[in-house]
Structure 1
Amino acid sequence: MTAEKDWVRELAPGQVYFDYGPVSMVVTAVRNGAGDSALCAAAAEIVENNLRTLGQSLDMLRRYPAHVDPKALTGTARQMADAVLATGDPWLTPMAAVAGAMSDAVADFLWERGAEKATANNGGDVALRLAPGQKLDMGILYDLNRNGVDRVVRILPEHGIGGVATSGLGGRSLTTGIASSVTVFSARCARADALATLLADRSYIESPAVHTCLAAEVDPDSDIADLTVVTAVDALTDGEKRKALDQVLAEAELQYRRGGLRACVAAVQGMTATFDPEKILNDR
């Protein structure tokens, strides 16, 4: 593969890295039984076009749901808004789904051009498309502040999972919760991204160990500048960890009934909980 753009780099046959503005994405594609780097590289156009068009809708995408008009949005911007509005939460802006929606756009491009197995991993928000007979082993992190995979689950086409996203303290975005990580499995990555943000937010508890400030103090340009975010969490008691996880599981149950969430895995300082009503998270 010869990259025409200096921000596109082949990592291995059928695996290409994009490093463009806010996008840091590893793209993989198997077509006709072999890794297809040229197909992966062609998806760079999708990233460029989406970043340009999203910039034109940025004002609307940074608003809270009560002030979002989805009919005024199209394409990826509309998918972001729809993913957030579907949760029913009043404090998630469409920006909560931006990384996942970008992953979906790239994965859709690969899939529509004949890939039988495709992934777009945008900083941990992974869109995947699997044809019958394919499989994907997905690593889960219990703590976003450290490296290393803590659990591996095998995803099959019949599971209906097209997106996996993780949020929590130490992630790329600010959080109002205390979870070390919350990983959500959904049919689309934009939806998984929004849900992971929401479930991580639901982990918040009142405790002297939890340190907070206004988001504007950390990032004056944040889309949630007027909300209180968690900056650090000291050692928690087992009871506090369990309370936080129970709150995440309660929200997971609600979102499952709303039809968006398929399963999730949450962790708070080494204590974990899994919501998997359909038993689709089979460990490898």
Structure 2
Amino acid sequence: MTRHRRVAWLACGKRLHLQDGPIDLILEATGIGSHVRVAYEAAAGRFAGLLDELCAELADLRKAADPARCMFKGIVARRMHAAVVPFARDCFITPMAAVAGSVADEILRTMLAVGPLDRAYVNNGGDIALHLGSGEQFNVGLLDRPDQLGVLRTLTIDADDPSRGIATSGRHGRSFSLGIADAVTVLATAGAQADAAATVIANAVDLPGHPAIARVSADHLQPDSDLGSRLVTREVGALSAGDIADALEAGARCARRLLAAGLIDGAVLRLCGETAVVGTRWAGASAPRLFHERVLETI
């Protein structure tokens, strides 16, 4: 089957759409006109062949990450591996857990390498790599769950905040989840780190053995899944208020550990209309406004 790569401007004329197979990017840059133009050209140029680059190492990218060594040649594959290594000693995780964020990071890196920009972002299906110059801001709308419309609340990231990566994971996303979270959104230093951490925290939001939760082996749904025969969540039935609180607290404990280890800057966890928020230690920077709007206190 012939694959068709898409490079096109959105109707607004300010955002560029790059799509190739499962990679679907929206990017925008602001700054001096000539710098912005060159940045877009560089992004499109780097995008060409990026999927083929990943496919060349796909078999190994689908294997459990080896914390002791990196066997990968491509820069994006190596970034994926580096992002999941901090978790690989404690749980099963493959570099594919960081693929979307790593691709976003790479395209943003390419844009910034050709000239200064005031502000830029690369959004890869909701996993975002971000650049903010002095005085710039970035607003993010958080959804109750990724498969439904409607913004739950907004998050504002200022240039002085440390976070430059945003990622969301959960059972309604593009990838399978071992947990039951509707959505877990994570802020971290870069897209790859946020992507990997969101996966780990979303997996931790769980009620093992609960009769209302239906699970099936990942390879039954997708034969080449990197999760193999591990059970992934397909349906979540009625849960009591106590069940929801227990599952969110399990995820929050995981998030607090990652926060204490410096692996994330904060996280918002959603399940059945309830929210848990983790993140008050911001390495000397002011916390984004969202993290003062607690629904369930988890610190």
* TM-score in terms of structure 2 length: 0.88
Which residue number in structure 1 is paired with residue 103 of structure 2? 102
The 5-angstrom pairing of residues 54-69 of structure 1 reads 54-66=54-66, 69=69
- 1:258 CA drift (Å): 2.1
Aligned twin of 1:10: 9
Match of 1:263 in 2: 266
Give me the CA root mean square deviation: 2.1
Going from structure 1 to structure 2, the CA distance change for 1:141 and 1:27 (only over 3 Å counts) comes to same
Shift of the 35–264 alpha-carbon distance from structure 1 to 2, 3 Å rule, reads farther
Q: Deviation per CA, 1:41-96, whole angstroms, max 9, x where unpaired?
A: 53122222322222222222111124873154441111100100122443110000
- Report the CA distance between 1:250 and its aligned residue: 0.5
Percentage of matched positions with identical amino acids = 31
Residues 14 and 37 of structure 1 are in contact (CA less than 8 Å); yes or no, is this contact kept in structure 2?
A: no
Stretch of structure 1 that moved more, 218-227 or 68-77: 68-77
Residue 145 of structure 1 is matched in structure 2 by 147
Is 1:280 aligned with 2:280? no
Match of 1:91 in 2: 92
Equivalents in 1 of 2:266, 2:280: separation in Å?
Answer: 7
Q: Does 1:181 align with 2:183?
A: yes
Q: Which amino acid aligns with 1:25?
A: L
Distance apart, 1:143 and its partner CA = 1.2
Q: Is the 8 A contact 1:26 1:122 kept in 2?
A: yes
Residues 243-258 of structure 1 aligned to structure 2 (within 5 Å): 243-258=246-261
Contact 1:142 1:266 (8 Å CA) reproduced: no
- CA contact under 8 A between 2:15 and 2:26: conserved in structure 1? yes
Deviation at 1:32, TM superposition (A): 1.9
Gaps of 5+ in 1: none
Using a 3 Å threshold, how does the CA distance of structure 1 residues 177 and 271 change in structure 2: closer, same or farther? same
Match of 1:31 in 2: 31
Aligned AA for 1:70?
A: C
Q: Secondary structure at the match of 2:76?
A: helix
Q: 2:80 aligns to what?
A: 80
Q: For residue 79 of structure 2, what is the amino acid of its counterpart?
A: Q
Q: Distance in 1 between matches of 2:225 and 2:5?
A: 29
**Aligned position for 1:195:** 197
SS at match of 1:87: helix
Deviations 1:207-241 (A, max 9, x none): 11110010011111101122110011012111111
Deviation at residue 162 of structure 1 after TM alignment = 0.9
Bigger shift: residues 110-119 or 131-140: 110-119
What amino acid is the match of 2:287? I
User: Which amino acid is 1:7 matched to?
Assistant: R
Give how far 1:151 is off.
1.0
Q: Sort the Cα spacing of 1:256 and 1:6 in 2 relative to 1 into closer, same or farther, 3 A.
A: closer
Question: CA separation of 1:245/1:37 partners in 2, compared to 1, >3 Å: closer, same or farther?
Answer: farther
Partner SS for 1:170? coil
Match of 2:216 among 206, 213, 217: 213
Question: Which among 113, 116, 119 is matched to residue 118 of structure 2?
Answer: 116
Contact 2:220/2:229 (<8 A) preserved:
no
SS in 2 for 1:63: coil
Match of 2:225 among 210, 222, 225: 222
In the alignment, which residue of structure 2 is the partner of 1:70?
A: 70
CA distance in 2, matches of 1:178, 1:138: 23
Q: Once the 2 structures are TM-superposed, how far is the Cα of residue 35 of structure 1 from its aligned partner?
A: 9.7
Structure 2: gaps spanning 5 or more residues: 294-299
Secondary structure of the residue aligned to 1:166 is: strand
Tell me the SS of whatever aligns to 1:222.
coil
State how far apart, in whole Å, the 1-side matches of 2:274 and 2:20 are. Answer: 36
What's 2:48 paired with? 48
Q: Secondary structure at the match of 1:159?
A: coil
- Aligned residue pairs, count: 280
Q: What's the offset of the Cα at 1:125?
A: 0.3
Q: Is the 8 A contact 2:206 2:251 kept in 1?
A: no
Local SS of the residue matching 2:265: strand
